[in-house]
Structure 1
């Protein structure tokens, strides 16, 4: 008895799983398992339940390979485990990664590299969102302190060129320009 069994998870916060679940049902999945948390937790009860549910001859179908794992290595391990149990795998968005297809090796490698980049992007975005929720901004801290910005505004009001202001403050002209533009933007919003 061959069954299509769907699985999806919320990859980005707020994205939900309803659209993917509908797409899997439309593709013929008899049952769809979901994990509705995008917190990146290793604990995925929906995936565990899906893997316990499938039997030899079944096929696990996903909207995209990123649903199964957080890294390309984990993906390969998961699909190898399914194949070892006699369970097929089908990705709707990356058919080259589906088992039982006659794809040339180059297509498989291109699809795996694309998956690796997507997973890396998702991890970076999740890390940035986690940092933002803790009040941290990613990137290099600014050299323009509130005192330097005030001095730059004062010197600019005196008609001094940006290069002179930068030399006086000991920062780059670009830093001064960005700070002045940001200051002017905030002043315009206050009006």
Structure 2
């Protein structure tokens, strides 16, 4: 029995899976399994259920290989496991990664590298979203403490140039300019 069985997950917070599920159904998937949890979730009950559901001769279809695993190595493990059970794999976005298709090995390597970059980007965005939800900003912390900002404002009010203020505070002129601009924006609001 040959069936197309779809799988998708929410890779961007709030994006949902409805659009991907509709695309998989349009591509011929008889059943679509989904995981609506956060992108970084290690538990994917929908994927587990999908992998248990498929039998030899079936094909798992996804909109993108990024749906299957958080790393390229884990993706290869899943696809190899499927192939070992006689189950095919098809990616709508990366046809070179689909099993049972004749493609040049160079195309496969290009597709795998593209997948690796996409997965890395997704993990970075998920990490930034998690940090933002906890009230943290990504990037290097500012050197301009509230005390330094107050002193910079005081020195600026005395007519001192930014380079002088930076030297006195022991920070860069750019840091002083950003802090003064931010303070001016807060004052005008």
Asked if TM exceeds 0.5, the reply is yes
Within 5 A, what are the aligned runs for 1:174-185?
A: 174-185=174-185
Shift of 1:2: 1.3
**2:86 is aligned with 1:86:** yes
Instruction: State yes or no: 1:17 paired with 2:17.
Output: yes
Shift of 1:45: 1.0
Structure 2 match to 1:30: 30
Q: CA deviation at 1:158?
A: 2.1
- CA deviations on 1:78-98 (whole Å, 9 max, x unpaired) are 000011111110001111111
Map 1:64-143 to 2 at 5 A: 64-143=64-143
**1:166: Cα distance to partner?**
0.3
Q: Secondary structure at the match of 1:8?
A: strand
Distance 1:42 1:145 in 2: 38
Q: Note the alpha carbon deviations across 1:104-149, whole angstroms, 9 max, x for none.
A: 1111111101111111111111112222222222222111011111
Aligned length: 189
Structure 2 unmatched runs, 5+: none
CA distance in 1, matches of 2:73, 2:102: 22
Give the structure-2-normalised TM-score.
0.96
Superposed, 1:51-70 pairs within 5 Å as 51-70=51-70
Gaps of 5+ in 1: none
1:186 equivalent in structure 2: 186
Deviation of the 1:39 alpha carbon: 4.8
Q: Deviations over 1:54-106 (max 9, x none)?
A: 11111100010011000000000000001111111000111111111111111
CA RMSD across the alignment: 1.1
* Residues 1:4 and 2:4 are matched in the alignment: yes
